[in-house]
Structure 1
């Protein structure tokens, strides 16, 4: 299960069923049902891909999960039942025209799911496509014996000494260098916008992902901060004039850590919805807000949030144990470099009215900006709930991209 802060909400907790393992059971699937089927769970926005042959596997592209095992069997002549292994959950449906239509169930949740032939292709118009008007190079750097691989994007014919560069630090959960989720590639979009404005960037795969070594499951936020430090040193060794850090979600918190670290001493930091409250309080606030927005009475949201969090926290891990006790506030108070902090006012993951006001009180010199109508991913949205993320074609607001590039360019002039 991905440990992405932006997905650690009541809705996502209730629907994250893709931790399946075990032995597949062979089932007699009719020939006319065999093949690949895909659809989106109504009301949740999560896409499901089902591969039916003599056995069944599931993909959840929006959560980065593939090849998950399930049992498929026929009930009567026309009803297909798919049971997820080692986790409560199932799909029951039948052929209706060209579609396989039925009900996705997990615990008390029941949602309509209509599957069509083939795989879903999400429209992501901001994802950059080659040829690029800038250079991209594969790079690697090492920390504590772990080699991390990434992409260095630089303006054409750039003179490193006269060029600002940034390290892009992703949110929690194992992600590739593009911070890819739900077919969105936010860091590829940000790197593209920066390079077009004369700013270099380094984005890298998380531990154990893509071309990076190491074991992700054994790492904490402090380990990921060490990886980001190594990335800063990588850029410094290449002679860039100014080196900063842009972090999203948990990556924003890591930007605070590096901004307070005199040994790293970045020239500037940018927080994209980085949390400033303790981890346990952040989780409680986000789950409470999500429950309220889904229609629960406010007086019940706190109780429901505590119940949901107790279930969530049973998923013991070294990362979670560290995260819930992590207090970023002391780091924010110690940031000495120029500091840009951004939030969308419909962010339901890192609650903006609390987050920005606390940053302002801890670090009065910070440039804090609130963007109307934007969610945790800085997409224009309706509710800010996580079920919108996949349905929204925009990856990140052009206004935010322009403001980041302009602000960094302003640091170069100083």
Structure 2
């Protein structure tokens, strides 16, 4: 049911990566405590993992996964092996004294039972889930601040949730600037015959206007079947480049230069829309936060390699942003950067 919706989202932004970790293992970071956590919604629980370093009132981040049936660790049921990108990100941040919560989105992995009917789930439902997580963290006196981190599609979810909850900061990783319907058009045009393209354009235009479509060609059912249309209508309503302008907290935009799913131009457009945001371009980082060249076969190998670490500069740039812009806790020791950094930071000329 809802898995088909996630397969559509994979078409929009590309494949992401596989599953599980339903039981919480012991923390792999010395001194860090890993526990199972959840939020309760009217249709069921949304489950996640909380990783807290041994530190007095550390800052905490909420990590929101990207598109597709992507679990809390950054793994998707679409691919046969995991990459653990978000798990590795959380563990890396813990080494810098930053706590985290990452979760299985509604309808995914341990949170699968929180979806009853596909037609009842909208994009706003996922935003509401993220906002509940933020509010739960804001009410926890153990944490000094709450930063929202959104990856890929999770970037837009995070932008809106951060605004709704007045989070302390927001970080976008590989987040599109354009609305999803435009991304979908770009990806479908070269794949569809002219007659199917015309049908797709007819349906897309109606959905963008908030209208459902009863007549859907069988070849396009996986994309536009009636039960999925409420989600698409709600999703297409948002333009990330406009939503990010509403944020008043510190914002960091991170983009890898070898991301073959979300190009650098999307991050540049977000920066243009939010001039006071910091923009970090990380050389050689792909969509799953791993070091990779642009060559497709080598790219795909990283999507299924949990032993490959995330790019260190990603963890460094986020931790530097949080400790310098969000928290004034100078007791947090940061890893030596003696080897130099391979990313560029673009800041507004003002404070």
TM-score by length of 1: 0.61
Alignment of 1:132 with 2:29, yes or no, is yes
Name the CA distance, whole Å, in 2 between partners of 1:246 and 1:275: 14
In structure 2, the residue matched to 1:199 is 98
Q: Which protein is richer in helix relative to its size?
A: 2
Name the CA distance, whole Å, in 1 between partners of 2:245 and 2:184: 22
Alignment of 1:282 with 2:180, yes or no, is no
Structure 1 residues 40-95: Cα deviation after superposition (integer angstroms, max 9, x where no partner): xxxxxx9xxxxxxxxxxxxxxx6669xxxxxxxxxxxxxxxxxxxxxxxxxxxxxx
Name the CA distance, whole Å, in 2 between partners of 1:285 and 1:191: 33
CA drift at 1:365: 0.6
Name the CA distance, whole Å, in 1 between partners of 2:232 and 2:297: 20
SS at match of 2:6: coil
CA drift at 1:229: 0.5
Alignment of 1:142 with 2:57, yes or no, is no
In structure 2, the residue matched to 1:252 is 155
**Runs of 5+ in structure 2 lacking a partner?**
202-219, 330-351
Name the CA distance, whole Å, in 2 between partners of 1:305 and 1:381: 35
Alignment of 1:343 with 2:241, yes or no, is no
In structure 2, the residue matched to 1:178 is 73
Structure 1 residues 360-379: Cα deviation after superposition (integer angstroms, max 9, x where no partner): 22211111122233222222
Name the CA distance, whole Å, in 2 between partners of 1:287 and 1:371: 29
In structure 1, the residue matched to 2:292 is 381
Question: If you compute each CA radius of gyration, which structure gives the higher value, 1 or 2?
Answer: 1
Q: Highest relative contact order (Cα 8 Å, sep 6+), 1 or 2?
A: 2
Name the CA distance, whole Å, in 2 between partners of 1:386 and 1:223: 36
Residue pair 2:73, 2:86 contacting (<8 A) in 1 also: yes
Q: What is the Cα-based RMSD across aligned positions, in Å?
A: 3.4
Matches within 5 A, 1:144-293: 144=42, 146-156=44-54, 158-159=55-56, 162-181=57-76, 182-212=81-111, 213-215=113-115, 217=118, 218-239=120-141, 240-261=143-164, 264-285=165-186
CA drift at 1:283: 2.4
Residue pair 1:6, 1:376 contacting (<8 A) in 2 also: no
Residue pair 1:256, 1:331 contacting (<8 A) in 2 also: yes
Residue pair 1:175, 1:206 contacting (<8 A) in 2 also: yes
Work out the number of aligned pairs and report it: 288
Residue pair 1:143, 1:226 contacting (<8 A) in 2 also: no
TM-score by length of 2: 0.71
